[in-house]
Structure 1
Amino acid sequence: MSEEIKVQLTATPGEKPDSQKLGFGKYFTDHMFVMDYHKDKGWHDPRIVPYAPIVMDPAAMVFHYGQAVFEGMKAYLTDSGKVLLFRPDQNMQRLNCSNDRLGIPEIDGDFVIHAIKTLIEIDKSWIPTEKGTSLYIRPFIIATEPCLGVRSSYTYQLIVILSPVGAYYSGGLEPVKINVESDYTRAVRGGIGFAKAAGNYAASIKAQENAKKDGFSQVLWLDAIEKKYIEEVGSMNIFFKIGGKVITPAINGSILKGVTRSSVIALLQEWGVPVEERKLSIDEIFEASQQGLLEEVFGTGTAAVISPVGELHWKEHTMKINEGKIGELSQKLYDTITGLQSGNLPDTRNWTITF
Structure 2
Amino acid sequence: MGVPLLDLKAHHEPLHQAIMAALEQTFRSQAFILGPDVGKLEERVAAYCQTTYGIGVSSGTDALLVALMALGIGPGDEVITTPYSFFATAGAVVRLGAKPVLVDIDPVTYNLDPTKIKSALTAKSKAIIPVHLYGQCADMAPIMDVAKQYNLSVIEDAAQAIGSEYGDGRRACSIGTIGCLSFFPSKNLGCLGDGGMAVTNDPDLAERMRVLRVHGSKPKYYHKLIGGNFRLDTIQAAVLNVKLNYLDGWTKRRQENATRYEALFKQSGLVQNGNVKLPEPVYRNSGVKHYHIYNQFVLRVEQRDALMTHLKQKGIGAEIYYPVPFHLQECFLYLGYREGDFPESERAAKETIAIPIYPELTVEQQTEVVEAIAAFYR
Same fold (TM over 0.5): no
Please state which structure has a larger fraction of its residues in strand. Answer: 1
The TM-score with structure 2 as length reference comes to 0.23
Please state which structure has a larger fraction of its residues in helix. Answer: 2
The TM-score with structure 1 as length reference comes to 0.24
